[in-house]
């Protein structure tokens, strides 16, 4: 896995190589001349470094799914990543602090953690990260999500709206 990425993409287990090719083709179609797509040590998970804005990729893929749903077959979720740091609590908390100002003062958030190949305790990460977000917490219907995706030695951190995590499976229904 490339150490630095700005997209995390899920696929069915065993479909990682097919999904990687599909994602690379999709990013080229969207205008990235040299995307870097990597499989990971986690089944069903690939990462990509694109020159495109990862949030714009999500919006453009939504449009493709409306107009040409057959173009995308093996990709399940596309998650934009804003910061990639070492998988330790202090680095993750610093990344959250850097991004937390995106959340307007009158809006709510929740922290969501996806852990893969790590022994870090979710409670410890949440406690450290939440200190840096002085906003109202809403676990059921937040305006914003502080998303922490840990993949072994690296953690991808984003502050985004729930609609900015693209579930292609939901769009296919």
Q: In what order do the strands lie in the sheet with 75-80?
A: 36-39, 45-49, 7-11, 75-80, 166-167
Is pLDDT above 60 for 1? no
Residue-range domain boundaries for the chain:
7-82+162-172, 83-160
Looking up tokens 């914003």, which residue turns up? 144
In the 3-class helix/strand/coil scheme, how is the chain assigned residue by residue? Answer: CCCCCCEEEEECCCCHHHHHHHHHHHHHHCCCCCCEEEECCCCCEEEEECCCCHHHHHHHHHHHHHHCHHHCCCEEEEEECCEEEECCHHHHHHHHHHHHHHCCCCCEEEEEEEEECCCCCHHHHHHHHHCCCCCEECCCCCCEEEEEEEECCEEEEEEECHHHCEEHHHHHC
Report the pLDDT averaged over residues 17-28: 98
The reported pLDDT for the residue numbered 172 is 73
One fold for both 7-82+162-172 and 83-160?
Answer: yes
pLDDT at 173 > cutoff 80: no
CATH pick for 7-82+162-172 out of 1.10.1740.10, 3.30.2130.30, 3.40.630.10, 1.20.120.80: 3.30.2130.30
pLDDT of 3 above 60 = no
Would you state the pLDDT for residue 170? 81
Q: What is the pLDDT of residues 59-110, one digit of tens each?
A: 999 999 999 988 899 999 999 999 999 999 999 999 999 999 999 999 999 9
Rounded percentage of the chain residues whose pLDDT exceeds 90:
91
Residue 2: what pLDDT?
43
* Average pLDDT score, the chain: 95
pLDDT above 70 coverage of the chain, percent:
98
């Amino acid at each position: 896995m490339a150490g630095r990425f700005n997209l995390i993409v899920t696929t069915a287990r065993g479909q990682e190589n097919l999904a990687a090719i599909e994602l690379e083709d999709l990013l080229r179609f969207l205008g990235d001349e040299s995307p870097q797509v990597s499989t990971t040590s986690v089944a069903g998970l690939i990462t990509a470094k694109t020159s495109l804005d990862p949030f714009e990729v999500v919006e453009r893929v939504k449009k493709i799914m409306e107009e040409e749903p057959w173009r995308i077959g093996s990709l399940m979720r596309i998650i934009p990543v804003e910061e990639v740091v070492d998988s330790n609590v202090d680095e993750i908390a610093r990344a959250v602090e850097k991004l937390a100002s995106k959340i307007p003062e009158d809006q709510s958030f929740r922290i969501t953690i996806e852990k893969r190949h790590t022994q870090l305790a979710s409670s410890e990460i949440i406690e450290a990260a939440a200190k840096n977000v002085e906003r109202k917490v809403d676990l059921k219907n937040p305006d914003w999500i502080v998303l922490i995706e840990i993949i072994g030695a690296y953690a991808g951190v984003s502050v985004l709206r729930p609609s900015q995590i693209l579930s292609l499976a939901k769009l296919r229904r």
